[in-house]
């Protein structure tokens, strides 16, 4: 193309990506090739502020910088079409992202994370990097986790995608963050009775503040909400609210009650609100309602088991981080809780994006420990003696024990898994489940429960085993004699 003949574009081309992705360098070459003006948003911000970006961060902080960045980008997008290079964190702000989606053709520049880190670590003018980013936190493309900032993780799926926002107090910003995603300003909030009582009013208030009309539906707490009768009642309650195709369902607190059939029927988008920062408040309130005093720790441990799982599946360095930091996380360290949740979301996003439809065994790896866990839950009646996450913790220890017994996994790795999960307080011994040591376990009855697991195919049991920490794989040919012997030994321990 002749640069003397500018290409006629209906919109500005905005280049976005992490620090060091090459937005400025590629933007200049692209502008020259297309015969269009090139504008670097960071240069415009510095020109408007009369100081460097590093100085803005130092004097005013990231929040004020992002507000100014948003105003500058809004002004630049109103200019005639050009090539626009944006800062590494610009696209992560929902309002800035909405502006670019509305007024620009957005191009995401991707590079390997190690390449990005090597490029930016030698550049002292990167304020986010100077705030403490490291290879340990490189998956976010943002500064090291702190307790008072939000994180956004992008989940890329075929032809679509979504963002996960992580941070304190986000429930009070849910309306603001969700508003650009809604087809119409009306939502139906679906939650279970416990979570609705604690957070339903605050969530509704956040949507009201954003100009979004809300209705609410509650379902029973616990596994009963997954049954078909509960689904039928939920469907009837939804229809009573007379939704249309532009009504959005907002799942508050989790996904057990939000059936895929409901979403398909309404052709609605689902917005999930994850309450990380509010857990301490929730547990304190539940305690005051007279529930057993160990609820708070038990619930935290149940969640922690799912966190540690990601390290055991395919991230040995993250499991090592858990071994070092798990106690502090459970004790309430906000930065470490945020980091753990962030890494868990990144791990699941990566696996789901690679195997969204479960056409390979990759996504099945997320079920590490679950075949054992479901048998333990069924034997305890899915009751309060064993929370799902606690069962997963016990199941992961047993999966590594079985892997070691079959000669697949170094015994030292299996012992390391059992030692850490037990050290934080998870019930890795069957006798510790329920606290009274009086339950009569039976290996064959547990195997019978396993046959009813959804992963069983043609009567054959499926297990997620491991060749070591971070080396999980799917096995469908486990010898039942070896399995029974393992369970007998676990019962006797």
Q: Looking at the structure, do residues 93 and 180 belong to the same domain, yes or no?
A: no
pLDDT of 112 reads 67
Do residues 303 and 137 touch, judged by C-beta distance below 8 A?
no
Q: CA-to-CA distance for 89 and 16, rounded, in angstroms?
A: 9
Strand 83-85 and strand 38-40: the pairing is parallel
Q: Is residue 295 predicted with pLDDT exceeding 60?
A: no
C-beta contacts of 399-404 below 8 A and 24+ residues apart: 399/368, 399/369, 399/371, 399/372, 399/463, 399/464, 399/465, 399/466, 400/312, 400/466, 401/486, 401/490, 402/463, 402/465, 402/478, 402/482, 402/483, 402/486, 403/465, 403/466, 403/467
Q: Looking at the structure, do residues 106 and 192 belong to the same domain, yes or no?
A: no
Burial (CB count within 10 angstroms: exposed 0-12, middle 13-18, buried 19+), residue 137: middle
- Choose the most confident range, by mean pLDDT, from 86-90, 337-341, 485-489: 485-489
Would residue 292 count as lying in a domain? no
Domain that holds residue 41: 12-112
Q: Is residue 38 predicted with pLDDT exceeding 60?
A: yes
Do residues 248 and 182 touch, judged by C-beta distance below 8 A?
yes
DSSP letters along 67-116, please?
HHHHHHHHHHHTSSS-EEE--TTGGGSHHHHHHHHHHEEEEEE---HHHH
pLDDT of 452 reads 78
* End residue of a domain, out of 95, 112, 129: 112
Would residue 216 count as lying in a domain? yes
pLDDT of 214 reads 93
Q: CA-to-CA distance for 150 and 348, rounded, in angstroms?
A: 19
pLDDT of 405 reads 96
- Choose the most confident range, by mean pLDDT, from 109-118, 164-173, 192-201, 319-328: 319-328
Average pLDDT over residues 257-283: 40
Would residue 76 count as lying in a domain? yes
Q: Looking at the structure, do residues 246 and 308 belong to the same domain, yes or no?
A: no
Q: Looking at the structure, do residues 182 and 54 belong to the same domain, yes or no?
A: no
Q: Which string of b and e fits 285-310 if b means at least 16 CB within 10 Å?
A: ebeeeeeeeebbebbbbbbbbbbbbb
Please tell me the least confidently modeled range out of 41-55, 275-289, 334-348, 425-439.
275-289
Chain centre distance of CA 361: 20
pLDDT of 263 reads 42
Q: Looking at the structure, do residues 348 and 226 belong to the same domain, yes or no?
A: no
pLDDT of 40 reads 93
Would residue 195 count as lying in a domain? yes
Q: Looking at the structure, do residues 248 and 388 belong to the same domain, yes or no?
A: no
Residues in the chain: 493
Q: CA-to-CA distance for 234 and 219, rounded, in angstroms?
A: 7
Q: Looking at the structure, do residues 238 and 306 belong to the same domain, yes or no?
A: no
Average pLDDT over residues 161-165: 82
Would residue 157 count as lying in a domain? no
Q: What whole-number percentage of the chain has pLDDT above 90?
A: 34
Angle of the 316-331 helix axis to the 295-314 helix axis, nearest 10: 170
324 token code pair: 């070092």
Q: Is residue 286 predicted with pLDDT exceeding 60?
A: no
pLDDT of 51 reads 85
Pick from 221, 216, 308, 231: nearest CA to 262: 231
pLDDT, mean over the chain: 79
Q: Looking at the structure, do residues 228 and 337 belong to the same domain, yes or no?
A: no
Average pLDDT over residues 376-388: 86
With cut-offs at 50, 70 and 90, classify the pLDDT of residue 463: very high
Chain centre distance of CA 222: 21
Our count of domains for the chain comes to 3
Q: Looking at the structure, do residues 344 and 479 belong to the same domain, yes or no?
A: yes
CATH number at residue 36: 3.40.50.300
Do residues 433 and 386 touch, judged by C-beta distance below 8 A?
yes
Would residue 138 count as lying in a domain? no
pLDDT of 132 reads 41
Digit-coded pLDDT (tens) for 396-447 = 999 999 999 999 999 999 999 999 999 999 999 888 886 555 678 999 999 9
Higher pLDDT, 434 or 96: 96
* End residue of a domain, out of 112, 130, 149: 112
pLDDT of 1 reads 46
With cut-offs at 50, 70 and 90, classify the pLDDT of residue 136: very low
Q: CA-to-CA distance for 168 and 400, rounded, in angstroms?
A: 35
Q: Looking at the structure, do residues 406 and 368 belong to the same domain, yes or no?
A: yes
pLDDT of 268 reads 40
pLDDT of 147 reads 40
Q: CA-to-CA distance for 382 and 449, rounded, in angstroms?
A: 12
Higher pLDDT, 249 or 469: 469
Q: Which residues pair with 271 in a beta bridge?
A: 250
Strand 186-192 and strand 213-219: the pairing is parallel
Q: Looking at the structure, do residues 330 and 260 belong to the same domain, yes or no?
A: no
Would residue 5 count as lying in a domain? no
Would residue 213 count as lying in a domain? yes
* End residue of a domain, out of 87, 112, 137: 112
pLDDT of 245 reads 83
The sign of the torsion formed by the CA atoms of 143, 149, 153, 154 equals negative
Digit-coded pLDDT (tens) for 194-225 = 788 888 899 999 999 999 999 999 888 766 66
pLDDT of 432 reads 82
CATH number at residue 402: 1.20.1090.10
With cut-offs at 50, 70 and 90, classify the pLDDT of residue 50: confident
Q: Is residue 366 predicted with pLDDT exceeding 90?
A: yes
Average pLDDT over residues 147-167: 74
Q: Looking at the structure, do residues 206 and 250 belong to the same domain, yes or no?
A: yes
With cut-offs at 50, 70 and 90, classify the pLDDT of residue 292: very low
Q: Which residues pair with 217 in a beta bridge?
A: 190
Q: Is residue 129 predicted with pLDDT exceeding 50?
A: no
pLDDT of 454 reads 64
What one-character DSSP code corresponds to residue 144? P
Q: Which residues pair with 15 in a beta bridge?
A: 85, 107
Sequence-separated (6 or more) residues with CB below 8 Å from residue 92: 141, 142, 152
Burial (CB count within 10 angstroms: exposed 0-12, middle 13-18, buried 19+), residue 42: buried
With cut-offs at 50, 70 and 90, classify the pLDDT of residue 284: very low
Do residues 187 and 214 touch, judged by C-beta distance below 8 A?
yes
């Amino acid at each position: 193309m002749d640069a003397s003949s500018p290409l006629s574009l209906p919109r500005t081309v905005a280049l976005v990506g992490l620090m060091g992705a090459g937005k400025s360098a590629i933007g200049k070459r692209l502008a020259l090739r297309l015969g269009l003006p090139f504008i670097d948003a960071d240069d415009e911000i510095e020109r408007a502020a009369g100081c460097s970006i590093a100085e803005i961060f130092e004097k005013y902080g990231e929040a004020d910088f992002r507000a100014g960045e948003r105003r500058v980008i809004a002004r630049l997008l109103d200019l005639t079409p050009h090539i626009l290079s944006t800062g590494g964190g610009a696209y992560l702000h929902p309002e800035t992202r909405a502006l670019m989606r509305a007024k620009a053709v957005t191009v995401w520049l991707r590079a390997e994370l190690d390449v990005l880190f090597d490029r930016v670590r030698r550049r002292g003018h990167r304020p986010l990097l100077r705030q403490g980013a490291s290879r340990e936190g490189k998956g976010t493309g943002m500064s090291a986790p702190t307790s008072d900032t939000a994180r956004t993780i992008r989940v890329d799926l075929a032809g679509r995608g979504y963002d996960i926002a992580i941070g304190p107090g986000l429930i009070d910003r849910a309306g603001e963050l969700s508003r650009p995603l809604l087809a119409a300003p009306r939502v139906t909030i679906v939650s279970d009775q416990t979570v609705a009582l604690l957070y339903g009013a605050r969530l509704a208030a956040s949507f009201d503040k954003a100009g979004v009309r809300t209705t609410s539906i509650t379902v029973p707490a616990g596994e009963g909400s997954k049954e078909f009768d509960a689904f039928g009642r939920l469907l009837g309650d939804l229809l009573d609210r007379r939704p249309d195709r532009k009504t959005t369902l907002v799942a508050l607190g989790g996904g057990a009650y939000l059936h895929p059939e409901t979403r398909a029927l309404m052709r609605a988008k689902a917005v999930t609100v994850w309450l990380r920062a509010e857990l301490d408040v929730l547990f304190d309130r539940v305690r005051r309602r007279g529930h057993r005093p160990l609820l708070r720790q038990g619930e935290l441990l149940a969640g922690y088991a799912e966190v540690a799982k990601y390290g055991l599946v395919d991230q040995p360095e993250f499991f090592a981080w858990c071994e070092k930091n798990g106690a502090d996380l459970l004790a309430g360290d906000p930065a470490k809780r945020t980091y753990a949740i962030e890494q868990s979301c990144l791990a699941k996003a990566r696996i789901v994006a690679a195997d969204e439809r479960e056409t390979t065994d990759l996504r099945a790896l997320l079920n590490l420990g679950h075949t054992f866990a479901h048998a333990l839950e069924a034997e305890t009646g899915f009751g309060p003696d064993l929370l799902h996450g606690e069962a997963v913790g016990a199941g992961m220890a047993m999966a590594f024990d079985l892997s070691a017994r079959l000669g697949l996994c170094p015994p030292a790795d299996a012992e390391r898994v059992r030692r850490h999960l037990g050290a934080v307080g998870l019930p890795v011994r069957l006798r510790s489940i329920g606290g009274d040591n009086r339950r009569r376990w039976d290996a064959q009855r547990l195997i019978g429960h396993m046959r009813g697991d959804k992963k069983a195919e043609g009567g054959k049991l499926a297990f997620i085993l491991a060749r070591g920490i971070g080396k999980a794989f799917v096995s469908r040919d486990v010898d039942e004699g070896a399995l029974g012997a393992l369970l007998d030994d676990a019962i006797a321990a």
